[in-house]
């Protein structure tokens, strides 16, 4: 089959790791006889520098013509001083809104050979395997008003947590669909003891669960979930939650996997192209040094194969190749604990060779 992939490398290590993901997709194409066609767009700081805005219209057009989008990362100290509305991160928020990428899936997978890279003891993290389903286009990050005001002589600020019923319903449904092909358990995370929005969230979770009698639903308060993620991460299968809660919990969960450089994500829509990107940012401290771990981007490409193209066998081939090179002792700097490590390009090469060897 032939598929069009829009690539938005963005800033910093984004350029280096998306290149690795493209090499891997091409290796999969060769082995399984598919054709991937790549087109490119600017986003973030790279777009600000040349077009003056973090998400040019031309980039949106490139994405909408594609079957899926692969994104690197945006941002960096160079753009720290630009006005809020023009910051690189705005490009990311805008593309999520433009493509209606409402469901952010972030798997957290344990790799036996990386047990020493996590700050947590092996006995706690062994066999951890869950996925966070984060609502991505609503909630506190998009609600209006969001502003500073003066109220008489007082300076006040307001952010708004706003959801429509249907927005909550579709993300919870996505979580149940995800649980169906996993271990049949959904943990819905909220703050229903304080927030009205969370009380509706809980109600809707109960309603949706009636359509999935085989799947277990539990509710957990977000503060308790933050604790349980460290205390007993094996407890979780699918975790579904509001935008900001999901942002925080998924960064916390990233420590279970050893390195941010290992964590992929998918941002799904019901109509049009979905987007795939590593969880990490542009890593300005190591950018341009051929040192970044490309695995998060490569595993994001595997999620693309699975969720956008329905190529489960191909997705598994990528995941197995990653596991294979890790088992063989290959490490990038972030995983190496100071011992010998591979460059970004050499790690990509090892994974590409493994995919080719298995054909």
Confirm whether residue 193 is marked as ligand binding. Answer: no
Sign of the dihedral through C-alpha 42, 46, 50, 51:
positive
Classified as helix, coil or strand, 283 is: coil
Residue 247 catalytic? yes
Confirm whether residue 54 is marked as ligand binding. Answer: no
Cβ pair 103, 136 in contact under 8 A: yes
Cβ pair 20, 348 in contact under 8 A: yes
Nearer to Mg ion, 11 or 247 (CB): 247
Q: Which alpha helices (DSSP H) does the chain contain, by range?
A: 13-32, 45-51, 57-64, 88-98, 122-125, 165-180, 196-209, 222-231, 243-254, 295-307, 312-327, 344-357
Cβ pair 208, 169 in contact under 8 A: yes
In Å, the largest CA–CA distance within the chain is: 71
Residue 190 catalytic? no
Q: Is 143 in the site for ligand NAI (CB under 6 A)?
A: no
- The nearest distance, CB 23 to ligand NAI, in angstroms, is 15
Residue 11 catalytic? no
Confirm whether residue 287 is marked as ligand binding. Answer: yes
Mark the segment that binds Mg ion (CB under 5 A) among 29-37, 98-106, 182-190, 242-250.
Answer: 242-250
- The nearest distance, CB 79 to ligand NAI, in angstroms, is 7
Nearest to 170 by CA among 219, 211, 215, 229: 211
d(CA 205, CA 178): 14
Residue 251 catalytic? yes
- The nearest distance, CB 229 to Mg ion, in angstroms, is 15
Q: Is 283 in the site for ligand NAI (CB under 6 A)?
A: yes
Q: Which of 103, 132, 281, 326 binds ligand NAI (CB under 6 A)?
A: 281
Residue 110 catalytic? no
Classified as helix, coil or strand, 219 is: strand
Site for ligand NAI in 53-112 (CB under 6 A): 73-76, 89, 92
Q: Is 42 in the site for ligand NAI (CB under 6 A)?
A: no
Q: Report the interface residues with Mg ion, using CB under 5 A.
A: 247
> Which positions are catalytic?
141, 191, 223, 247, 251
Q: Report the interface residues with ligand NAI, using CB under 6 A.
A: 13, 17, 73-76, 89, 92, 260-261, 277, 280-286, 292-293, 296, 334
């Amino acid at each position: 089959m032939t598929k069009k992939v829009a690539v938005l490398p963005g800033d910093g290590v984004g350029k280096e790791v998306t290149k690795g993901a493209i090499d891997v997709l091409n290796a999969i194409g060769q082995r399984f006889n598919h054709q991937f066609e790549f087109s490119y767009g600017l986003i973030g700081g790279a777009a600000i520098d040349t077009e003056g805005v973090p998400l040019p219209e031309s980039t949106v057009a490139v994405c909408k013509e594609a079957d899926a989008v692969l994104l690197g990362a945006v941002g960096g100290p160079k753009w720290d001083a630009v006005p809020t509305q023009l910051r690189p991160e705005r490009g990311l928020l805008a593309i999520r809104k433009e493509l209606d990428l409402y469901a952010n899936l972030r798997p957290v997978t344990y790799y036996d050979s990386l047990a020493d890279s996590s700050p947590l003891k092996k006995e706690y993290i062994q066999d951890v395997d869950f996925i966070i389903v984060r609502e991505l286009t609503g909630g506190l990050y998009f609600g209006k008003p969001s502003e500073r005001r003066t109220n008489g002589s007082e300076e006040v600020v307001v952010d708004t947590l706003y959801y429509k019923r249907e927005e909550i319903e579709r993300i919870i449904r996505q979580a149940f669909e995800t649980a169906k092909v996993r271990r049949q358990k959904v943990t819905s995370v909220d703050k229903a003891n304080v927030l009205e929005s969370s009380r509706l969230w809980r109600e809707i979770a109960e309603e949706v669960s009636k359509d999935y009698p085989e799947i277990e639903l539990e509710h957990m308060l977000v503060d308790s979930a933050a604790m349980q993620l460290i205390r007993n991460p094996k407890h979780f299968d699918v975790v579904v939650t509001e935008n900001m809660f999901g942002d925080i919990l998924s960064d916390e969960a990233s420590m279970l996997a050893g390195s941010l450089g290992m964590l992929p994500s998918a941002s799904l829509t019901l109509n049009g192209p979905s987007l795939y990107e590593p969880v990490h940012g542009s890593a300005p401290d190591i950018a341009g040094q051929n040192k970044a771990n490309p695995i998060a981007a490569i595993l994001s490409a595997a999620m693309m194969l699975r969720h956008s193209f329905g190529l489960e066998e191909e997705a598994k081939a990528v995941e197995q190749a990653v596991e294979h090179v890790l088992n063989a002792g290959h490490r990038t700097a972030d995983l190496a604990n100071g011992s010998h490590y591979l460059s970004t390009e050499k790690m990509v090469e090892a994974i590409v060779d493994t995919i080719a060897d298995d054909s």
